Amino acid sequence: MAHRWKNDLTRDDVTPRALWLNRRQLIAGVGAGAALSLTRQARAQDLTPNSLEQISSYNNYYEFGVDKGDPARNAGGLVTSPWTIRVDGMVDRPGDYALADLLSGLATEERIYRFRCVEAWSAVIPWNGVELADVLNKVGVGSGARYVAFETTVQPDVMPGVRSRVIPFPYVEGLRLDEAMHPLTLLATGVWGQPMPNQNGAPIRLVVPWKYGFKSIKSIVRITLTDRQPPTTWNRLNSREYGFYSNVNPEVDHPRWSQASERQIGGGLFARRQPTLMFNGYGDQVAHLYDGMDLRENY
Ligand code: MTE
């Protein structure tokens, strides 16, 4: 079928060629080898990746509690296999897809991305996953679709935060279709060549590196193509503090956290604050998506 969306960017525009590992190299190199080559790649980009231990011990996943250590402590009981994702709405091939079927035949990528939480901490994370665009093309974006909505699993018996209703669940998020189809946007299934830790959103979570971390919805069980801007959890809770777009923007402060600078996790209490970059440093790749939009109004 004909798609209205065409990526102008090639993979080489997004990340230097040296950053790409094909699936065979990835499988062969899992462990020390992969870690080493990723470190080398990150140096080329002047980024210091956080360790798996750091990435998986300081988390936001409110279904498992609100403290940063709660997800690591409590998420062990989440059963992530088998896993089914409902794909519905304005889509050519809707259905309940086994995760493996949904991803079969798609290229697995390994990408080191900056991650910026609205709480003014950041991380550098080597993700493994597939481009969301590849998944959407596989199921067929229906004509008229303009947004993509996502939903997290709700399992009260293994999710203490759901039982105590810390925020309304299911956690929901959304992207405009062109954001979803952008080659930087990933559905991640692992970090550092390892399967995704439960606390980071196993078995599959969204990663949108130019937006604040809360857009990166975890443990996805539903993807819906729609013509209406979908509700998002934090926007629903407090629309003054959290907009639909939530692009990283050092000039638009959150009422409780300055967005001008950030501290990378793992550096200890005295880690140097670094200036936050517009679109988290991905402006060359994504600024055109927002041409003509007032980013103070559309925060
Ligand atoms: N997804 C779900 N389902 N529930 C959550 O509470 N928290 C978000 C996002 N995705 C959250 C979620 C927030 S606020 C952040 S900063 C990131 O997950 C944290 O991702 P990380 O734990 O992998 O660093």
> Any idea of the CA torsion for 88, 92, 94, 99, to the nearest 10 degrees?
-100
Q: Which tens digits make up the pLDDT trace of 114-127?
A: 999 999 999 999 99
Model pLDDT for residues 53-98, shown as the tens digit of each residue: 999 999 999 999 999 999 999 999 999 999 999 999 999 999 999 9
- In the chain, the percentage of residues whose pLDDT exceeds 90 is 82
Q: Give me the pLDDT at residue 268, please.
A: 78
Ligand 1: centre distance to CA 60 (Å):
4
Give the pLDDT of residue 12.
47
**121-131 and 84-89 beta bridge pairing:** unpaired
How are beta strands 109-116 and 261-264 bridged, if at all? Answer: unpaired
pLDDT in tens, 5-43: 444 444 544 554 334 444 334 444 445 555 556 666 677
61 CA → ligand 1 middle, Å: 5
Does the Cβ of 214 fall within 6 Å of ligand 1? yes
Domains recognised in the chain with CATH numbers: 11-290 (3.90.420.10)
Confidence of residue 282 (pLDDT cuts 50, 70, 90): very high
**Span 257-276, mean pLDDT?**
90
pLDDT of residue 269: 73
Task: Give Cβ neighbours of residue 12 (< 8 Å, ≥ 6 apart).
Answer: none
Ligand 1 centre to CA of 258 (Å) is: 19
Measuring CA to CA, how many Å separate 46 from each of 50, 113, 266?
13, 12, 17
Nearest by Cα to 201 from 104, 96, 56, 99: 56
Q: Is the pLDDT of residue 239 over 90?
A: yes
Mutation probe of ligand 1 site: the residue of 214, 236, 238 with most atoms within 8 A of C-beta = 214
Whether residue 218 has its Cβ less than 6 Å from ligand 1:
yes
- From 42-51, 269-278, 286-295, the region with the lowest mean pLDDT: 42-51
C-alpha 71 to ligand 1 mean position (Å): 10
C-alpha of residue 256 to centroid of ligand 1, in Å: 18
Cβ of residue 222 lying under 6 Å from some atom of ligand 1? no
